[in-house]
A and B are shown apart, each in its own frame.
Chain A
């Protein structure tokens, strides 16, 4: 299976960075802060053209972490800005990430309807 080992390593390393951020910055940095930081950093790296090489190297290892979500948003906005101008810059990010966001809302709502919290 191609790319599985690189995906494991790249994904693992990105998560270790997240763990370091969480452990070294406690208590002010919550998991919410970590998630926001990853999306933003992913977006900025994407805009600078530095995240794409990481995806080529690690495949899902770079797209599945939340930084990949940030990259998808930023990349979508930039591609749309190139073809459709400023309106594309506004809409492109959400268009590119639509599957992820819609899936999260849909599954989130369905699961919340189906299950009860265990505590």
Chain B
């Protein structure tokens, strides 16, 4: 906030009073509704993935393979629904229920790539693919390396 002493504001409200007023006037998120939606949609995505894992296991895949394949399918569906323009409509209601599962990670990759396609395949789509996913990978990989190093020195 800048120095406004040169010619003080005409309004008879101080910034401190205003932040109180602003907080009172600003509507709060509908927490309970949001939580129910997040639980339902997030739970459904996970339950769907679990059904796939069970099917893949039944087809003879190992536990790890089945889990990886199911993750890949959820990522694919997240990307596809983003392309069809429905993922943002789901996320509008479901919030974290659609953002936290890996399909939301796929959405965060496809959405900017899709939109910046018009700025070229390299500087637009290629570069923007990681606007949101980039930080996720950076922090995820950094955490994993730290975990690996700590493990190495503790169990040496």
Contact = CB atoms under 8 A, between A and B. Distances in A.
Given A18-B38, A109-B129, A11 B43 contact: yes
Contacts of A107: 75-76, 79-80, 106, 110
A4 B51 contact: yes
Contacts of A58: 46
Nearest to B96: A18
A34 B96 contact: yes
Contacts of A77: 144-145, 147-148, 151
Would you call the interface of chain A mostly helix, strand, loop, or mixed?
Answer: helix
B38 A112 contact: no
A17 B47 CA distance: 17
Contacts of B132: 31-32, 35
Contacts of B113: 108-109, 111-112
Interface residues of A, number: 82
A46 B147 contact: yes
A60 B70 contact: yes
Interface in A28-87: 31-32, 34-36, 38-40, 43-44, 46-47, 58-61, 63-70, 73-74, 76-78, 80-82, 85-86
B11 interface: no
Contacts of A110: 79
Contacts of B70: 60, 63-64
